[in-house]
Amino acid sequence: MSKLTHLDKHGAAHMVDVSAKEASDREATAEATIALSPEAFEAVVEGTAPKGDVFAVARIAGIMAAKKTSELIPLCHPLALTNASVEFEPAADGSAIRILSTVKTTGQTGVEMEALTAASITALTIYDMIKAVDKNATIGGVRLIAKSGGKSGEYRATARGTFKPAAAAALPVRSKPATLMGEVAAPRPRADTAVQREAFRAFMASHGLRATEWAKTAGVSSGQILAFLTGKSRAIPSDVAEKLAHAARVRVEDMFR
């Protein structure tokens, strides 16, 4: 068993002296999952939660948490982070959201705790943002996914669980899919799917539209709206988009800009 570095020879807790270590590039990725009710999940992906845009607020909270880890975990070193990011993977079945946080630095100690703290605080922020809709939302699965740099080198977690993301591509890399025949895309300057999705979400929020009610009025399935918002589909079929636009009394292109 490895020696616990946070204990001195007398068994007392102390901050590890890293002054003799050489600085190296360090990176760590952690995850957390929050299970939600269908209503809460819909509110999150649509951007209609009572407190506003859940993803935007939770992402900033996670990044801030990474920067403040040494103030929260007693024996962590204050670090000059070179990057901190938070991404989200809505589950394909609409039941949960997976959080992935990645933190980087160049220094004498790793950023595992910063990544874990970012994932945890992001999940707690999502809970705070949707607790009015779902007080039973459950946070779990907080763990380190990968790390690199330092004396211990590379680490990759073993696969576990049955979380199935709605998006086809693994985060944080997002591919740029081609528009399929019969699907509607945003204007050419907004060809990237992620941009289309955010514009569509913003349109719904600004017009006070909820997927289930809007879909019912338009005579389409709300699942087609949610599939696009969660990344399960890359675009909304043109006939569905026409009906949604008609129900909202706008042009199709207005929904994507």
- Residue numbers annotated as active site: 128
Residue holding tokens 């690199």? Answer: 148
Element (H, E) at 86: strand 81-90
Q: Which residues pair with 32 in a beta bridge?
A: 99
**Tokens of residue 59, six digits:** 């992402």
Nearest to 2 by CA among 152, 110, 114: 152
> How far is it, in rounded angstroms, from Cα 209 to Cα 47?
10
- Burial 194-203, CB ≥16 within 10 A → b, else e: eebbbbbbeb
Backbone CA torsion sign across 203, 173, 186, 180: negative
| 42 three-class SS | helix
Q: Determine the straight-line distance between the first and last CA of the chain, rounded to whole angstroms.
A: 57
**Inter-residue long-range contacts of 209-214, CB under 8 Å, 24+ positions, other chains counted:** 209/46, 209/248, 210/42, 210/46, 210/48, 211/42, 211/46, 212/42, 214/244, 214/247, 214/248
